[in-house]
Amino acid sequence: MTRWKILIEYDGGKFVGWQRQANGPSVQQALEEAVEGFSGEQVLVQGAGRTDSGVHALGQVAHLDLEKPMEARKIREAVNYHLKPHAIAVLEAEEVSEDFHARFSATGRAYLYRILDRRPPPTLDRGKVWHVNKRLDAEAMHDAAQVLIGNHDFTSFRAKECQAESPVKTLDRLDIERVGDEIHVHVAARSFLHHQVRNFVGTLRQVGDGRWTKEDVKQALEARHRSAAGPTAPACGLYLTTVTYPDAG
């Protein structure tokens, strides 16, 4: 038995999320079926992050176990062949030790959120960005975001259905920059609460359009109640970009 770590990119628009569900196709299901298609083995593909419906990934990491000995390049190519026509691609595959776990071995996760803040709607990036037809103040958003950095009770930014045992998390990075007609929100932490990043973005958008101030964001954090923060930003603008580990696995 060999454990394989795979790096995955996908467009989450047509999936119900990463995890297998009864109500539609998932990324996990597509990968497991692709592996069985070339290997004949039924496997469990376990991911580092359970992305929601509509959320994309540039650097999702997963692991799986195979009985049959194979080369890393062959696994990558074979999985990608059997993934057609799904918008999923395995970018890399590597053999790892049996104690490596894509989710529990991870020491950090990073996300990117894209806001297109121009009057005309997106065409090529439809379903890949949150379209806001009003110019936002990226500098004000970045300044306000800094009150969220550090170890806090993030109940105000936690989905009601979140299953995490504690709302306390340590946020390592929340940077906001303008890139042409887009605002990019860069977020990093060891782990996140359900909808935490999207709730950050929905709240900071209100700073960007002048309805909220930095002090309002601080008060929302201190309130420790979901109703105190802003709305949940749509899934389409969110990307899981990087998962980090203490070593190569």
Q: Which residues are catalytic?
A: 52
Q: Residue 17 carries which DSSP code?
A: B
- Asked if 145 contacts 202 with a C-beta cutoff of 8 angstroms, the reply is no
> Comparing C-alpha atoms, which of 76, 86, 68, 81 is closest to residue 29?
86
- Asked if 144 contacts 230 with a C-beta cutoff of 8 angstroms, the reply is no
- Which residues are within 8 A (CB) of 213 and not within 5 positions of it... i.e. 6 or more apart? 144, 207
- The residue whose two tokens read 């070593």 is 247
Q: Is 7 helix (H, G, I), strand (E, B) or coil?
A: strand
- Whole-angstrom CA distances from 96 to 2, 42, 220 are 8, 19, 43
DSSP per residue over 43-106, as a string? ---EES--PBTT-EEEEEEEEEEESS---HHHHHHHHHHHHTTSSEEEEEEEEE-TT--TTTT-
CA atoms within 13 A on the CB side of 42: 0
